[in-house]
């Protein structure tokens, strides 16, 4: 990666971080950020918006070369009406679809029929000191970068406590076969500890690893993710072959 590209990336994260700090957490809405993307896999960042005044949006555009591209991010709520973006001034003739949403983080990732790309692979949150444009984070919600995992990989999350400093959260991809083994052992241990109060079962390691197969499923703290997956598993809504919600 050249120096100019690295500088641009860090400036982007700095500006997003500064703006996000001005928005109270309860009013933060994460929207998929797309800039002339061909499909969702090209949208590898999220924009943090203020849900009091903004919504997520996605636009489908036909270019002069007759290709379909997508633009998305945050849009003022005054420019959105019942889920449809309202044109202001002279409308871009290339826009064939423009939609808004504000009901959940990343809700615009399925608006305007944006292509989902390779459905056999996972798009996962990606914050890792050694590999990602965005390093491991001190708060799960600070991770706003995605990566497209290989077809034999799924999403992963790792929590680690460093003596003398805060907990850090790392996100990325994991081999699917390894994840299946890890998940079987994890659910077996959690099943064993149901309704038990022994010190052995109450003990939580300062490290945590978890993985899952749905797109973006590795959002949050590792311990919260494994509790959510275990509840799905116990209710019959988690496929241990695909590692996906059913």
User: What pLDDT digit, counting tens, does each position of 3-32 carry?
Assistant: 554 444 444 444 444 445 588 888 999 999
* Residue 199 sits in the same domain as residue 132: yes
* Residue 128 sits in the same domain as residue 212: yes
What distance in Å separates the CA atoms of residue 145 and residue 125, rounded to the nearest whole number? 6
Q: What is the pLDDT of residue 13?
A: 46
- Looking at 113, 140, 168, which one is the last position of a domain? 113
Number of domain units in the chain = 2
For residue range 129-141, list pLDDT tens digits in order. 877 678 889 999 8
* Residue 144 sits in the same domain as residue 203: yes
List, in order, residues 6 or more apart from 97 with CB less than 8 Å away.
58, 59, 60, 111, 112, 113
* Residue 165 sits in the same domain as residue 206: yes
State the average pLDDT over residues 49-67.
Answer: 93
CATH number, domain with residue 94: 2.10.60
* Residue 96 sits in the same domain as residue 146: no
Q: What is the pLDDT of residue 8?
A: 47
Q: What is the pLDDT of residue 14?
A: 46
In a domain, 95, yes or no: yes
Lowest mean pLDDT among 111-115, 197-201, 217-221: 197-201
Which pLDDT band, with edges at 50, 70 and 90, does 89 fall under? very low
CA 67 → CA 28, 222, 226, distances in Å?
33, 40, 41
* Residue 31 sits in the same domain as residue 88: yes
* Residue 218 sits in the same domain as residue 130: yes
* Residue 178 sits in the same domain as residue 207: yes
* Residue 134 sits in the same domain as residue 158: yes
What distance in Å separates the CA atoms of residue 233 and residue 243, rounded to the nearest whole number? 10
What distance in Å separates the CA atoms of residue 120 and residue 68, rounded to the nearest whole number? 22
Q: What is the pLDDT of residue 220?
A: 92
pLDDT of 164 > 70? The answer is yes
In a domain, 21, yes or no: no
* Residue 127 sits in the same domain as residue 240: yes
* Residue 91 sits in the same domain as residue 187: no
* Residue 192 sits in the same domain as residue 163: yes
What rounded mean pLDDT belongs to the chain? 84
What residues make up the domain containing 206?
A: 123-245
């Amino acid at each position: 990666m050249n120096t100019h590209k690295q500088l641009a990336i860090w400036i982007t994260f700095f500006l997003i971080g500064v703006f996000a700090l001005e928005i109270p957490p309860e009013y933060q809405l994460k929207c998929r950020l797309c800039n002339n993307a061909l499909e969702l896999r090209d949208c590898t960042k999220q924009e943090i918006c203020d849900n009091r005044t903004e919504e997520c949006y996605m636009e489908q555009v036909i270019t002069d070369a007759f290709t379909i591209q997508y633009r998305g991010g945050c849009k003022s709520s005054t420019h959105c009406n019942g889920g449809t973006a309202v044109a202001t001034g002279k409308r871009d003739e290339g826009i064939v679809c423009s939609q808004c949403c504000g009901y959940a983080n990343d809700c615009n990732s399925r608006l305007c029929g944006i292509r989902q790309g390779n459905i056999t692979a996972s798009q996962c949150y990606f914050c890792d000191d050694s590999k990602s444009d965005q390093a491991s984070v001190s708060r799960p919600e600070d991770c706003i970068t995605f990566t497209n995992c290989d077809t034999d990989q799924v999403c992963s999350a790792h929590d680690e406590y460093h003596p003398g400093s805060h907990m850090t959260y790392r996100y990325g991809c994991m081999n699917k076969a390894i994840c299946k083994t890890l998940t079987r052992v994890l659910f077996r241990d959690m099943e064993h500890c149901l309704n038990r109060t022994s010190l052995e079962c109450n003990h939580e390691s300062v490290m945590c690893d978890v993985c899952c197969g749905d797109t973006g499923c590795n959002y949050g703290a590792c311990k919260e993710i494994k509790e959510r997956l275990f509840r799905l598993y116990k209710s019959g809504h988690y496929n241990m072959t695909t590692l996906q919600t059913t």
